[in-house]
Structure 1
């Protein structure tokens, strides 16, 4: 290998029996030390205590993060990015550096890997065919993400998490399929903003690991950063000049934004609430990437409505920078009663005051007042239909609402749609239109089209609901045409994104379920409910509380009153079989006072299996020990 091994300095001892070379890099563990690390990793995976110093501190910290993220240790589950930009500032800065080093390593068993800030592999250069084939088998290939949240401890993801150069040898990897490899990654920072924009990584066989790998990766990162500085200098200077000119000519709020830089004047800091800045900049960033000046109207979480003039300073290869001039056109002070009623109706999905939920409700409310048709996009159970109903009933309680589910599409369904459109005066909610077939979507488009531009005051307010847009597969052309009939799409956030509203939803839902009986939720039980991710959203919370009310209709709900499923913090809705298994494990743990070994014995499963199931389901039960 081109990188020669350096003699280790034996008087600089580190964790896990590693040594430090004269250049400061870690030498690979000896065979005996590697075996001890493997034993330590196995112990860690079954929650056994580790001997002090058996694992390096940064590696142990990464293992803990990996376990908390529920990364599977026995197999790889990696997302694939299909829409990577072919030409970005990072790629342009890194390619000459990677190409030069790749030529030097052409005959060596080492791979040069460039990743973006999300750990997605952008380029891989490998001269050794055997290593190349192995990297394909473990999906360390362009398009796949090696972020810690997917792969656990590794040179790419751990360097991104730690924001520093990182070496990972053999069994220090969290996933067992990577134990034959060694890697060293160094983060790449933008020279203007200091933001980490990627990582450069060297990967080789564990037996070929060299103390100079991390030094080489760090040197490459610095060279890429120098190239980034040369690239960005002209752009940032142009943006700065435009910003200073605009600030001198305007007394209003001014922002200068690019992918790596944000500047704002004092008026912007005073006028725009910090919580409002993120959605404002996100919408404006999309406009700047179009490469032409545009005017936007942005609904902000605080209730303000901002008019934004977006003027690009430069645009190149999908990235851009420009100037934003912002004016707030409306704001309703908290102490003043609003001119129009806000949505406080007693409907479960309309209960809540979190920033994301409030922004969504205000946007829907505004579109109802202008009778503008819209699409409500969100997960099943997030409250799309109920939000439309709540808005209608708040403004026109005497008016009629018709809800038609696209699952029932047919001649009679279309006749009902046409009847509502011709009758007018009410609200028509078309549920789950993304499930329509191509011919059905086309038929619905033909029915809606004649009414979309109508100026008739009695024109019905039409709302369509759909699930989240899939990343991998774009909408069918017929569905795209149908959605084009609706001028605006509003995203209804899942419950986990406004989890603070659980504290308001629970008392309301309990009141509905008990018809006003005196049943309250204790702070301890509320904390359990608020720790859940609620993949089934408000509907799942409602069903959980139904189970509670079936057993207790008055008094105070304690954690023990909650169904076993609330002890599992899962990222998805469990299948019926999984739910039964999860409940059985929780019940066994409670009966065993949190003793995992005893719970495993009662369930007839091994200790390793129950640990894996507990982590997989995200079960959280107070423990008293394992022995």
Structure 2
């Protein structure tokens, strides 16, 4: 066992050649090994990769590895000295790992158990040469083989893909792993479905065969069966109450705890996903009281839900219980001022997620009251589109003018003044006002000043769009934005990623002018697992690349560009996406100091470490240089 005092391991080795193996062929594709090695080299130097040589999952993993800036010429791994050897996964899986290792005792194969962050918990190897080699490449207890540290490998790639993965020889991203072959399979909790870890078989490349992935999948199923036997009383109590409620009640039934959500078919039919978020948030709070309660919850769709909350257990601030849900009409429920109107689809926008619907409703209210408004959000999030669509919905025959501050000059200011004086009850959209110079900000403020206090409903409705950035707003711009009594935050696409399912066909129709091109379910799942840092504009550009090559038929995962296939492990809920962004902002504000970031966010240091690992947050080099 090898360990670095600084908590990271680094291994480097001179070129090893082809190890004297002669002509050799890949186990799965049948391609010569040297051609895969050349394809990897081409990928690393940004040359085209010869089609048909590298499997699609491997190419996608290489792309993720490059985006994570994994070094291809050496290993640089984090080490955790306090990995949990007494977790539910370890207790359930260790006897099976030992049994399998004993059966393979005479074979050059290692059985490796890792947690959901790729940290090795247990390693059993009967072959001394293989055992020593695994030590040299730090594939040992306490070290993480997550993809973001090691690149393409059986452990990390199985975790990222949430499916069995097999990686042979030069398919590994880091060159010092080319003598190995590995197959990993994810392990899930049999009740909650939560990802707990991965089981991996690693051997010499020359000993690999096609049956490795089948064997490791069988071991994973055995471990999941053992997990079911070891499941805690809380999960079993909740499962018992849920099944009993489903038998007694033909309506919508949910089971809810801190890490578990189950629902019957009726719940899926009755409640749109956008309605489930506020319903479950209110119910979770009610379950924490530990008492049976009945709630009336206003839903974004305009409906009202009557929710019967029955706790199954409450311990240490956590709780779990069963929810029975009925939808009631507005007339049958008490009058509630917080009831949201049914969201109306805006003519030029697409999306029905709760965060996007709430944003659209807020902008619509300000239009009806003629209150000037600032729309602020990340570049590409749809601020201009939202302003234009709101005008088209409420005043389709009215005058609409969009002026971009990037065209600032004397003529631009004159056009603003002209619109304010002659635009009547139309709409004036001032785009990117944050990009104005100090002189431009002053000139625009002088133009707006005579009209901002007017109560004349015949004056134009003025909207300013601002790209949210981490740089501080200048004093002049802050004074200008004070002319606008309302500000609406336009959510980034990752906060309402469920709307990707509606945006994709809409954007495809725009790009193909109605041609018969659709997106397959598999490709849509990959698109929905992306973080989309460039928001809707980035999604549009990705689809434009696809449409340039395929105009009809069905888009499959093979049609997606590599940067699109390099997706996150799972789709974050809107609340998780917001929390992830808050943690990133706090880390940037504190130069990567995790303890300071935790204090700023009001969470413990252990919690922020766990969430950083869970969300896969990696900081840029300057931030990482800060104290942790």
- Taking structure 2 as the reference length, what is the TM-score of the superposition? 0.49
- Taking structure 1 as the reference length, what is the TM-score of the superposition? 0.49
